[in-house]
Amino acid sequence: MSQQTETTDGAGVAESGNDTLTVTDNRTGQTYEIEITDGTVRAMDFRQIKVSEDDFGLMTYDPAFTNTASCRSAITYIDGDKGILEYRGYPIEQLAEQSTYLEVAYLLIHGELPTSEQLDQWTHDITIHTFVHENVKEFVGGFRHDAHPMGMLLGSVGALSTFYPDANEIKDPDNRMIQTIRLIAKMPTLAAFAYRHTQGQPYVYPDNDLKYPGNFLNMMYKMTELKYEPDPRLERALDILFILHADHEQNCSTNAVRAVGSSQVDPYSATAAGVAALYGPLHGGANEAVLRMLKRIEKKENIRDFMQGVKDGNERLMGFGHRVYKNYDPRAKIIKKATDDVFEVTGVNPLLEIALELEKIALEDDYFVSRKLYPNVDFYSGLIYEALGLPVSMFPVMFAIPRTSGWIAQWLEMVEDKEQKIARPRQIYTGDRTRDYVPLDQRG
Ligand code: SDX
């Protein structure tokens, strides 16, 4: 009797004793039984389907892996049609309401909510690892004054691997855990250093009296005051944003971390690959692209023309659409609500009015409804970041800070997964074959 299991899209496996595909190869008339497990079939089971003895056998072809499970994971569950997101089985709505980012990071990595002693130890371990080696200031200082902070973060995270040469001992669980703690602890410090560099301001060291989000605000904004005191409402809003961005199953950047990590490189280099993937405007760079889009629209009366541009294919409605969610991204709902708390402190961001009008029009317009394009996590987050005084270029960095715990949780799961090996896809070769070299003086 097959287990009633669900894949991430919620496809249940029929309660039957016959979970197989019967495949007939019409080229040979041969029939094959392919096992169905957890709503999937193994690509390697198709290799046996050949037309002759020297035939390599069938491969599966899935550009961008739109319908391919790359791993078995117990970390994050998404149901795209129902708009469900759970970390280790806990609904994101409950975690955003009742938890903190550091507690969620522990949950993602260890699989269970911490006891009070475990949370105290975890918080202590993260807090005492927030400093970076003084040399880090040298190379962050070497970037141009107008360098994009995400490019600086990409470089500095990768460079951390040179400060911890033993980090490549990935088979040692204790070594994996200390690197995990260092990465989660130091990401806000590297992010803040990148920001301060762009502002021409001195770096601010971590303040171990402050909580994780408050300490980040301290390293970002402390000036001449002896002690930076974060506004608790802004600190809580940031904590909620960090919770919402912590993990999202096999997204582009997590796939990059797993693929690079599968070569058994150190976790800093694998995390740098995640930062690089997240930098892209179709992924974590979308929150930056949303603000630039809202600023370009500028006034409500320009929205109709802009939306026509989207339909004509000349524009993309950034912050809308998702590979998995074909419903409202549950994170977008929570962030939209969090804007109220932040704007209570900072005043309403005038771009909110344009964002709300864009959403209203998109939710009523068949072009978007037929393509199941709803606001995603990036649509409203930028309004909060801007209200917190962050430049648009820092928005993807704000995504990378909390996603580090998700990347690391996925990396740890990959390293411990006996089924995983170095990621090395196949291809369909479309180029020329076996041509003779043409000397230079004979080329046309
Ligand atoms: C994140 O994977 C994750 O989990 C990512 C993430 C995470 O937490 O890690 O959730 C974070 O990256 C959120 C997504 C942020 N990106 C954006 O907001 C950029 C704008 N959105 C897209 O470019 C797009 O929707 C993607 C990249 C998010 C998803 O792209 P898909 O699944 O490859 O879909 P597609 O590009 O094939 O689009 C299907 C159709 C196309 O139209 P047709 O060719 O059928 O006519 O929908 C259209 C697309 O043109 N379309 C859009 C659109 N998104 C898709 N048209 C206008 N505006 C958009 N935003």
pLDDT single digits (tens) 186-226: 999 999 999 999 999 999 999 999 999 999 999 999 999 99
The answer on 43 and 191 residing in a single domain is: no
The answer on 80 and 21 residing in a single domain is: no
pLDDT at 3 over 90: no
Q: Nearest residue CA, atom 51 of ligand 1?
A: 321
Cα–Cα distance, 327 to 316 (Å, whole number): 18
Between the CA of 399 and the centroid of ligand 1 the distance, in Å, is: 17
Higher pLDDT pick, 109 / 387: 109
The answer on 148 and 29 residing in a single domain is: no
Cα–Cα distance, 47 to 35 (Å, whole number): 13
Instruction: Render pLDDT for 388-407 as a digit per residue (tens, 0 to 9).
Output: 889 999 999 999 999 999 99
In this structure, the number of other CB atoms found within 10 A of the CB of residue 97 comes to: 11
Residue 281 · residue 288 · CB < 8 Å: yes
The atom of ligand 1 lying closest to the CA of 253 is 9
Full domain range(s) for residue 379: 73-413
3-class secondary-structure state, position 33: strand
Residue 385 · residue 287 · CB < 8 Å: yes
The answer on 295 and 174 residing in a single domain is: yes
Q: Nearest residue CA, atom 40 of ligand 1?
A: 371
Question: What is the percent of the chain where pLDDT is above 70?
Answer: 96
The answer on 279 and 143 residing in a single domain is: yes
pLDDT at 128 over 80: yes
pLDDT at 6 over 60: no
Between the CA of 363 and the centroid of ligand 1 the distance, in Å, is: 16
pLDDT at 286 over 70: yes
Between the CA of 315 and the centroid of ligand 1 the distance, in Å, is: 12
Q: What is the CATH number of the domain that holds 278?
A: 1.10.580.10
The answer on 44 and 128 residing in a single domain is: no
pLDDT category of residue 341 using cuts at 50, 70 and 90: confident
Q: Is residue 434 part of a domain?
A: no
Q: Is residue 51 part of a domain?
A: yes
pLDDT at 17 over 80: no
The catalytic residue positions are 283, 322, 378
pLDDT category of residue 9 using cuts at 50, 70 and 90: very low
**Confidence (pLDDT) at 360:** 94
For 12, phi and psi rounded to 5 degrees? -80, 160
Instruction: Render pLDDT for 131-182 as a digit per residue (tens, 0 to 9).
Output: 999 999 999 999 999 999 999 999 999 999 999 999 999 999 999 999 999 9
Residues with CB under 6 A from ligand 1: 248, 251-252, 282-283, 286, 310, 316-324, 371, 373, 376-378
